[in-house]
A and B are shown apart, each in its own frame.
Chain A
Amino acid sequence: MSLAQTLFLGLLQGASELFPVSSLGHAVIVPSLLRWTFKQSDPRYVPFLTLLHLGTASALLFLYRRDWWVISRAFIRSAVRGQIRDADERTAMLLVAATVPAGAVGFVLEHPLKALFASPRAAAAFLILNGFMLLGAELLRRRSERAGADRAAQEADYKAAGQLTFRAAVVVGLAQALALLPGMSRSGVTMSGGLLAGLRHQEAARFSFLLATPIIAAAGLLEVPQLVGSRAPWGSYLAAALLAALAAYLSARFLIRYFRSGRLDPYGWYSILAGAVALVLLR
Chain B
Amino acid sequence: MLALLLVVLAVVLVVFAYLYWVGDFELFTRTGSGPQKKHAILLVGLAVVSLIGANFARRRTI
Contacts and interface: CB of A to CB of B under 8 A. Distances in A.
Given A103-B42, A103-B45, A82 B56 contact: yes
Query: Interface of chain A, helix or strand or loop or mixed?
Result: helix
Given A82-B61, A84-B61, A223 B28 contact: no
A100 B13 CA distance: 14
Nearest to A223: B38
Contacts of B28: 107-108, 110-111
Interface residues of B, number: 19
The size bracket of the interface on A is: 10 to 19
A103 B46 contact: yes
A166 B52 CA distance: 15
Nearest to A103: B42
A96 B38 contact: no
A222 B49 contact: no
A84 B56 CA distance: 9
A225 interface: yes
Interface of A: 79-84, 96, 100, 103-104, 107-108, 110-111, 166, 218, 222-223, 225
Interface of B: 28-30, 37-39, 41-43, 45-46, 49, 52, 55-56, 58-59, 61-62
22 contacts: A80-B55, A81-B59, A82-B55, A82-B56, A82-B58, A82-B59, A82-B61, A83-B59, A83-B61, A84-B61, A84-B62, A96-B49, A96-B52, A103-B42, A103-B45, A107-B28, A107-B39, A107-B43, A110-B28, A222-B37, A222-B38, A222-B42
